[in-house]
Amino acid sequence: MFDAEQLKQAVGDLDEDKVMEILREFVATNPSQEEAQQAVAACQSGMAIVGDLFEKEEYFVGDLIFAGELLTNAIEILKPVLGTASSAKIGKIVLGTVAGDLHDIGKNIFKSMAEAAGFEVFDLGIDQPPANFVNKVREVKPEIVGMSGVLTLALESMKDTVDALKEAGLRDSIKIIIGGNPVTKEACEQIGADAFTTNAAEGVKICQGWVK
Amino acid sequence: MTDIAALAQERTQIIADVLAGRIPKRVPVIPGITYEFAVEYAGLDLMTATWNPENFEPVCDKVCQDFYADVFPVIHLRFPALYKTLGAKNWVMGSQGFLQHPEVVGLLEEEYDEFIENPYNCIMEKVLPRIYKNLDTDPQTRSIVMAKAFYIFNEEFGNIGATAAKLSQKYGYGTANLFTAAPSAPFDFVADQLRGFRNMMLDVRRIPDKVEAAVKAATPLMIKMGWPATPLPNAAVFMPLHMAPFMREKDFARLYYPTFKETVEAFAKAGRQTLLFVEVDWMRYLDYLYDLPENTIMWFEFGDPKLVKEKLGKKHILTGFYPVTLLKTGTVQQCIDKAKEMLDILAPGGRYYFNFDKSPLTLDTVKPENLKAVLEYVAQNANY
Amino acid sequence: MIESKYYKTWEQYKAEHPEISEREEKAMAKRMQTYEEMMYGFVMFLLI
């Protein structure tokens, strides 16, 4: 077995060497699927520490990117012992960068943090027209839609996307969060989203609040 | 002297005063309006109009007629013909016709040493063919692609320069060029097109020594890019700053700041000011910014203007802060009130010219009547 | 200073071309160097 607290702290510290060492030793002991799930859970709790430190401005975006990479690598090591058991998801998010905008770094950070928090994320990609959001929402029936954008022109596309979801009769069954450099409270109101953030960790917390 | 010539002279004077740290007659209004915005404002189709240099003059003329500025305001840097010819992966057109920079990797991790050894050779041999796919070919074809691209580059910038000069005559704009060249901070240069944002952030944690050496190797290239070959009045090198807000301070202090400062200081010693576009939130780095050479021009996107004025306003030249998104969501009155607020905070004591936090990108990002009203208001109501 | 086979200062160029006379040099130097600088500016523009 492994020390869950130690693993969680190593992830929180973004101590890559230590995380990998703990996991390699753990995998070498031929753990059960259930034990492997506990290791995943410890890594996810470590990500929550990362999110907290980000909100306290001890960590920055670069650290979130590194944390996402660290978590991906950790899961990769655990895969052989994880088997088919999958942990319960706390909700579904349809996510994408809106039409006209090709940026995806912020979206990807949010995605890895949301997944670490237990969400199932359906990532549409970049430069996504409203119809693609509508179709995916119809298909997977998420609780939440996340729209991302860096350019100011993304705000108009976000509004178009919300309007399209309204027209399709889907707006009332979902919560919408917008994120990225240009979003503000005023823009959020005008777009008709439920929440906005320029901070991926805060965004994940808002989403967790919605599915409680 | 004609009225237009007198106007131009007055404008040149207030800009010269501000850039030298003297209190001008009034606050200069120096907005940057993207060519993409101008194209749509003139009623042309963004996806197609930017292909034809002949559109540049009539499009800019329309903007010059309708929006107040003390300097020719239109900024045009990204040419679809150039990037198409080169098969660019680093500048790609979005579905709405706006060229953008997706994440690219021009330099692989195993190529760090090669870059550090000889950055310019490495750029020519490895980086360019990797991010411009039409250069990744036989030497004959590559030479043809380069010849076409170089021609387009000169044609476009020649046209822009000639048009700016012509419209400056027509509208009596002040003489100033705050974009003589656009080098990056060396760390940003390595991050943006060489390693990519994501890789660079991983490299900072995993191989900081390589990052440091690469950033040092890139520094002479950046200094050469912005080097003032000929003296010009009211001129600045434009340097958009990118990565620092995403870094921890200890990484910034070691990997970003020293070569950034070295670059700005080199220009200052050669008699050229630097216009920094201080992107995203730099509030935790104000002391570092303070230490840059006197009269460095700092265009802020975010942050507390009061704090910045207090900390930097006696040494450097400030602009920005005005949230351009308000021009979309606010009423005319709200927009003017915001301008007044900015002037009250930033204008006292000089060392300030008016600009927004960033340039209006496309027509639907602002209400043109708000933009017009704010520029007029500042032009009329910001006398010392 | 940039040391590269793809960028030469006039002095470097001249050292590689001893056949250039002083008379020619007067006419050539500035012009040739201008093209060298233009190409450098172009290449670096491709990376911003």
- All structural domains of chain A: 4-82 (1.10.1240.10), 91-211 (3.40.50.280)
Does residue C1 register a pLDDT over 80?
no
pLDDT in the model for residue A117 = 86
CA distance B121 to chain C (A): 6
Average pLDDT for residues C4-16, to the nearest whole number? 94
Query: Euclidean distance between the first and final Cα of chain B, in Å?
Result: 25
- Predicted confidence at residue A84, as pLDDT, reads 67
pLDDT at A44 (0 to 100) = 86
Measured in angstroms, the CA of B364 and the nearest CA of chain C are apart by 26
CB atoms B128 and C43 under 8 Å = yes
Asked if B213 reaches chain C (Cβ–Cβ under 8 Å), the answer is no
For A15, name the nearest residue in chain B, comparing CA atoms only. B205
In a domain, C41, yes or no: yes
The secondary structure of chain A in percent helix, strand, coil, rounded to multiples of 5, reads 60, 15, 25
Q: What is the pLDDT of residue B101?
A: 84
C5 falls within a domain: no
Q: What percent of chain B has pLDDT over 90?
A: 92
Q: CB distance B123–C47 less than 8 Å?
A: yes
Task: Find the mean pLDDT for residues B355-375.
Answer: 93
What is the average pLDDT score of chain B? 96
* Range list of H helices, chain B: 3-19, 35-41, 46-49, 56-66, 80-86, 112-117, 119-122, 128-131, 139-171, 186-189, 197-206, 208-226, 249-251, 257-269, 286-290, 305-312, 326-329, 332-346, 368-381
Do A140 and A95 form a contact (C-beta atoms < 8 A)?
Answer: no
What are the DSSP E strand ranges found in chain A?
91-97, 119-123, 144-148, 175-179, 195-197
Q: Which residue of A has its CA nearest to B191?
A: A62
Q: Which residues of B touch A14 (CB under 8 A)?
A: 205
> Residue B221 and residue C48: Cβ atoms within 8 Å?
no
Residue C3 lies in a domain: no
Q: Hey, are the CB atoms on A102 and B102 less than 8 Å from each other?
A: yes
User: CA B333, CA A207: separation in Å to the nearest integer?
Assistant: 36
Question: Can you tell me the ipTM of this complex?
Answer: 0.95
Chain A: residue nearest B206 by CA? A16
Query: Which residues of chain B are within 8 Å of residue A128 when distances are taken between CB atoms?
Result: none
Range of the domain at C14: 10-45
User: Does the residue C4 lie in any domain?
Assistant: no
List the 52-111 stretch of A: residues with Cβ below 8 A of B: 57, 59-63, 65-66, 69, 99-105, 108
**Among all residues of chain B, which has the CA nearest to that of A53?**
B248
**Per-residue pLDDT in tens (0 to 9) along chain A, 212 residues:** 678 899 999 999 999 999 999 999 999 999 988 888 889 889 988 988 998 899 899 999 999 999 989 988 998 898 888 876 566 789 999 999 999 888 888 899 899 889 888 899 999 999 999 999 999 999 999 999 999 998 888 999 999 999 999 999 999 999 999 999 889 998 999 999 999 998 888 999 999 999 98
> pLDDT of B197-210, one tens digit each?
999 999 999 999 99
Among candidate residues A77, A73, A70, the one with its CA nearest the CA of residue A26: A77
What pLDDT does B174 receive? 97
CB contact under 8 A, C2 and B86: no
Q: How many structural domains is chain C composed of?
A: 1
**Residue C18 in domain:** yes
Confidence of residue B90 (pLDDT cuts 50, 70, 90): confident
Contact: chain A with chain C (3+ CB pairs below 8 Å): no
Which of B38, B36, B39, B17 has the alpha carbon at shortest distance from B28?
B17
Distance CA A9, CA B171 (A): 64
pLDDT value, residue A59: 93
Dihedral sign of CA atoms B60, B66, B67, B69 in order? positive
Q: Which secondary structure element, helix H or strand E, spans residue B75, and what is its range?
A: strand B74-75
Q: Is A41 helix (H, G, I), strand (E, B) or coil?
A: helix
Q: How far does B74 lie from chain C, in Å, by closest CA?
A: 19
Any domain includes C14: yes
In which element (H, E) is residue A33 found? helix A33-55
Nearest by CB to residue A127, choosing from B94, B247, B361, is: B94
Decide if C18 touches B, using CB distance below 8 A: no
Based on its alpha-carbon atoms, the radius of gyration of chain A, rounded to whole angstroms, reads: 18
A/B Cβ contact: 3+ pairs below 8 Å = yes
Mean pLDDT of B34-44: 96
Whether the Cβ atoms of residue B365 and residue B33 lie closer than 8 Å to each other: no
Tell me, yes or no, whether C23 lies in a domain: yes
Per the domain annotation, does C2 fall within a domain? no
Contacts of B202 in chain A (CB under 8 A): 65-66, 69
Of B189, B224, B229, the CB nearest to C47: B189
Confidence of residue B123 (pLDDT cuts 50, 70, 90): very high
**Under an 8 A CB cutoff, do B246 and A190 touch?**
no
A184 contact B CB<8A: yes
- Could you tell me if B329 lies within 8 Å of chain A, comparing CB atoms? yes
Lowest mean pLDDT among A119-123, B98-102, B120-124: B98-102
Cα B127 from Cα B186, distance rounded (Å): 16
Task: Quote the pLDDT of residue A85.
Answer: 58
Q: What is the pLDDT of residue B241?
A: 97
Q: Reply yes or no on whether the pLDDT at C37 is more than 90.
A: yes
Check residue B58 and give its pLDDT. 98
Residue A79 is predicted with a pLDDT of: 84
The radius of gyration of chain B's CA atoms, rounded to the nearest angstrom, is 21
**Percent of chain B with pLDDT strictly greater than 70:** 100
